[in-house]
Structure 1
Amino acid sequence: MRACVLHAARDLRIEDRPEAPLGPHDVRLRVRAGGICGSDLHYFFHGRIGDFVIREPLVPGHEFSGEVAETGAEVSRVRPGQRVCVNPGRNCGHCPRCREGRPNLCENVFFMGSASKFPHMQGGFAEHATVRDTQCFPVSDSLPFEEMAFAEPLSVALHAAARAGNLMGRRVLVTGAGPIGQLVMLAARRGGAAFLAMTDMMDAPLAAARRMGADETFNVGAGTGALLDAAGAMGGYDVVFEASGASAGLNAALMAVRAGGIVVQVGSLPGGETPVMANRIMAREIDLRGAFRFGDVFGDAVTCLEKRLIDIRPLLTGRFPIEQASEAFAAARDREKHLKVVIAF
């Protein structure tokens, strides 16, 4: 099978790779669509994301969908020919975090397309992928593969919204209008948020946010000082979701949230130390919460997609065949033109 393989920063090759053996509970998929995530972009352009560094050839991709090609002897959850959304994570079910109902914090997690462990956990940007049957969520034939690939990022957004708690009637700000930020906005609206604002450094994604229902947007592209000034002026939000992955974004969130409010860190911050206005957390009793990947919400995300309870179609802005995978990564980085770019297999 052909696969997209990252050897180092900006070194992506289309290579032939052998099929993985099929175990009794395994499912072999014909991958049809894979969405390029922000973490994939970091791996492609920098060879790392945060503290996770590529140390061996890595097949990226954890946002993908396909159809069942073959099943192991003991698989009954899916059958050949079915369309499935794929949960890229497998938790052990036995460690303390799994037992307390937080599978995304599993101490033995397997998460596809990640360099967080060595050997790396290979991803789904290939013509075929072999996964466990429990990772497969069947959908009807009416849902396009490209939309099915949104199940994973939508799960991230639903989990972030759940980490914030009750959003009914809340004033909410999202910093960072990339795909995850936009999905968080949609998830917050579904959770009952009464007012939604968004910041970004570029006009195009903010315009997209307004089209999808943002009540107010702020361009903070004049630099960190302008960002903090704007955050001070915007102060009074009940909940702020930090989805930019920038230190300045986190500090802006701490400035913009009301006393006693909640900040949810969704974006992946740079590796190493991050300067944070920590005294503000103390003096205003701000709850700072992390949102890492997602818990048991993948099935909910699939339902939202299939029933169009959350309409992600405006986010899909680019499609490229596998032969143009490098061009797809370059396009996905162009935030003036694109939100979510999908590779077709």
Structure 2
Amino acid sequence: MHAVVAHGPGDLRIENLPEPSLATDKVLVRVVYGGICGSDLHYAKDGRNGAYTIAEPLTLGHEVVGVVHQVGAAVVSALPVGRRVAIHPARPTPLPGGVHGAGFNLIQGGSYLGSASTSPHTQGGFAGFIEVTPEQLRGLPDELPLRTAALAEPLAVAIHGVSRLGDKVKGANVLVSGAGPIGNLAILALRAAGAAKITASDIQDFPLEVARQAGADDVVRLGSGEKPQDEGFDVVVECAGVVPSVVAALDAARRGGAVLQLGMLPAGPLPVHLAGLIAKELTFFGSQRFDVELDAAVSLLAAEPRAAAIVSQVFELSEAVEAFACAADSSRSSKVLLKIGADPDQ
């Protein structure tokens, strides 16, 4: 099978790897689509993602969907061969259908598909086939195309973060700072959670066009003389993951408001002045991946036709290098997918 493998900084290869030999307690999934995430881009460009450095060849990809291909002989209960599925990328894995957080996203020592956080590394899903445990599978409703279902993992990240805000979202005037894929998926999650008005801000025009299609009520093009109103928002969701955006988020939140940090910030000390957080009695929420929210993400994607607009390009696996370059350019892309296998929906 062909796979997208990172070997180090700037060394991304398409390689022919052996298909997994299925363990009796596992399920083999034929991968159809994989979404390129910011962590994939970091591994490909820098050879590392945050504190985790590639020490051996790493097959990338954790936003993957496909079709059940084979079920191990010892598996007691699993989705049947041919069933279209999304894959929960974390182990330990919450059981399907869970609605109460298990806290698995905060457990030390777990693993995540396509991650160098473990030794040996946890190989990812940008490959023809992937072997997973039965509890990692989430069956997809017939009305949800696999192409849109590829958004389930990052949407679960957004839903988890928004859920941390609790009742602060309902009826709120919200700013989403950074209209990349996670920002635009946050728009879907915020709308589903009852936000009254959602404004998206970004430095590029293209992401803001996608934000409107995803359901933003208003957009602000930063650098054009516009800026979000200081203290004008009940809730600010920071999705860019850069210090100036964090500073602007603290400025934009009203007194007694809240800031949710969804964007991944660099490790180490950051020059962020927190006096405003204290003076305005802001509540600042961190958010780490997701826990049980993949089921909710699948349901929301099936019910929300605007989600499809967030997928901006689809590349064949053989075009992976070009796909990564496109995904790294926010002036022309939102969520970029790799088409890894034949799509039964087409």
> Fold-level match, TM-score > 0.5?
yes
2:321 is equivalent to residue 326 of structure 1: yes
User: What code does the residue aligned with 1:153 have?
Assistant: P
Q: Show the counterpart of 2:154.
A: 153
Q: Show the counterpart of 1:293.
A: 289
The whole-number CA distance in structure 1 between the counterparts of 2:48 and 2:258 is 29
**Which 10-residue stretch deviates more, 36-45 or 322-331?**
36-45
The whole-number CA distance in structure 2 between the counterparts of 1:221 and 1:20 is 49
Q: How far did 1:190 drift?
A: 1.1
Partners of 1:168 and 1:193 within 8 A in 2? yes
Q: How far did 1:100 drift?
A: 7.7
Size of the alignment, in residue pairs? 333
Residue from 261, 270, 276 that aligns with 1:280? 276
The whole-number CA distance in structure 1 between the counterparts of 2:268 and 2:84 is 41
The whole-number CA distance in structure 1 between the counterparts of 2:143 and 2:215 is 26
Q: Show the counterpart of 1:115.
A: 116
Structure 1: tracts of 5 or more residues without a match? 94-98
Q: Show the counterpart of 1:171.
A: 173
Partners of 2:231 and 2:255 within 8 A in 1? no
Q: How far did 1:92 drift?
A: 6.9
The whole-number CA distance in structure 2 between the counterparts of 1:92 and 1:203 is 38
User: What code does the residue aligned with 1:239 have?
Assistant: V
Q: Show the counterpart of 1:340.
A: 335
The whole-number CA distance in structure 2 between the counterparts of 1:267 and 1:245 is 4
The whole-number CA distance in structure 1 between the counterparts of 2:328 and 2:283 is 32
Structure 2: tracts of 5 or more residues without a match? 95-99, 341-346
Q: How far did 1:334 drift?
A: 2.2
Q: Show the counterpart of 2:60.
A: 60
Residues 1-345 of structure 1: matches in 2 within 5 Å?
1-75=1-75, 76-91=77-92, 101-166=102-167, 167-221=169-223, 230-231=227-228, 233-306=229-302, 308-309=303-304, 311-345=306-340
User: Are residues 249 and 64 of structure 1, via their aligned partners in 2, closer, same or farther at CA, if it must alter by over 3 Å?
Assistant: same
The whole-number CA distance in structure 2 between the counterparts of 1:290 and 1:144 is 32
User: What code does the residue aligned with 2:16 have?
Assistant: D
TM normalised by structure 2 equals: 0.91
Partners of 1:6 and 1:59 within 8 A in 2? yes
TM normalised by structure 1 equals: 0.91
The root-mean-square deviation of aligned C-alpha atoms, in Å, is: 1.9
The whole-number CA distance in structure 1 between the counterparts of 2:221 and 2:119 is 40
User: What code does the residue aligned with 2:289 have?
Assistant: R
3-state SS in 2 of match to 1:258: strand
Q: How far did 1:203 drift?
A: 1.2
Partners of 1:186 and 1:310 within 8 A in 2? no
Partners of 1:158 and 1:184 within 8 A in 2? yes
3-state SS in 2 of match to 1:270: coil
3-state SS in 1 of match to 2:212: helix
- Percent identity over the alignment is 42
Partners of 2:214 and 2:310 within 8 A in 1? no
3-state SS in 2 of match to 1:125: coil
Q: How far did 1:57 drift?
A: 1.2
3-state SS in 1 of match to 2:58: coil
The whole-number CA distance in structure 2 between the counterparts of 1:195 and 1:77 is 41
The whole-number CA distance in structure 2 between the counterparts of 1:90 and 1:255 is 38
Partners of 2:67 and 2:82 within 8 A in 1? yes
3-state SS in 2 of match to 1:156: helix
The whole-number CA distance in structure 1 between the counterparts of 2:128 and 2:213 is 35
Deviations 1:80-121 (A, max 9, x none): 11111111112278xxxxx98311111231110112233221
The whole-number CA distance in structure 2 between the counterparts of 1:286 and 1:65 is 38
The whole-number CA distance in structure 1 between the counterparts of 2:119 and 2:223 is 38
3-state SS in 2 of match to 1:267: coil
Q: How far did 1:74 drift?
A: 3.0
The whole-number CA distance in structure 2 between the counterparts of 1:52 and 1:335 is 24
